[in-house]
Amino acid sequence: MRKLVLTLFAMIFPVWGCAQPKAVGVRVGLIDWAVSYQHYSGQREDFIETTMSIMPTKNDAVGVVSVLYNFSIHEWNLVRGGCNLYAGAGLGIGGSRSMPTYRREEEHEVPMVKYRPGLFMSVPVQFGFEYKSHNVPFQISLDFRPHVALSVCPSKEYGTGWCFDFQTFIYTMIPGLGLRYSF
């Protein structure tokens, strides 16, 4: 009996996982680029989204891995496709490294490194609108995804502590455009 239950579970679980719609693609903002994977769940258009983003800034490079659960707020079924308005939240972890900037001093350049925290945890919140075509397996989306981040900040007086990462929050306030292949 135990083998029968395990065999049925091993046969049904992969079929159930493959039956759910998925999408993979890119999300591009003005200063961040991301690779995303979406896995839809249930009867509604709710989905789990995993992204790996890179935000190159003037003096730094920030990488973030985040997982969000997005709820479908409203769906429109059109003749040639469907639209979905969604919102969600999740968790993210990221890292950055300081890159030197140079200032000119008389005859030579002097490196001037501004310290940027190396590790941070974030809570991304996402609001978006997407369109899926019935004829072509692509979807296009426009979303707004700010990250509220806490960084590890060393201090000369207090040692290491946590601080609000205002720069990452400002950089993620810009909307992004997503293009994904759905299968």
Say yes or no to pLDDT of 21 above 90. no
How many Å apart are CA 26 and CA 147, to the nearest integer? 18
- Of the candidate ranges 81-90, 120-129, 143-152, the one whose mean pLDDT is the lowest: 143-152
Our CA dihedral for 63, 65, 70, 75, rounded to 10 degrees, sits at 60
Dig out the tokens for 101 from the structure: 């900037």
Whether 133 has a pLDDT exceeding 90, the answer reads no
Number of Cβ within 10 Å of residue 59's Cβ equals 15
Residue 168 lies in a domain: yes
The pTM of this model reads 0.74
Does some domain include residue 3?
no
What value does the mean pLDDT take over residues 116-131?
83
Give pLDDT tens digits for 26-45.
999 877 889 999 998 876 78
CATH number where 114 lies: 2.40.160.20
- Count the domains in the chain: 1
Q: Is residue 6 part of a domain?
A: no
For the purposes of burial, counting CB atoms within 10 Å of the CB of 46, is it exposed (0-12), middle (13-18) or buried (19 or more)? middle
Host domain of residue 104: 19-182
Query: Is residue 69 assigned to a domain?
Result: yes
Structure-block tokens of residue 57: 């800034």
Lowest mean pLDDT among 43-47, 55-59, 107-111, 152-156: 107-111
| 119 within some domain | yes
Q: Could you report the per-residue pLDDT of 104-120, keeping only the tens digit for each? A: 556 665 555 455 557 77
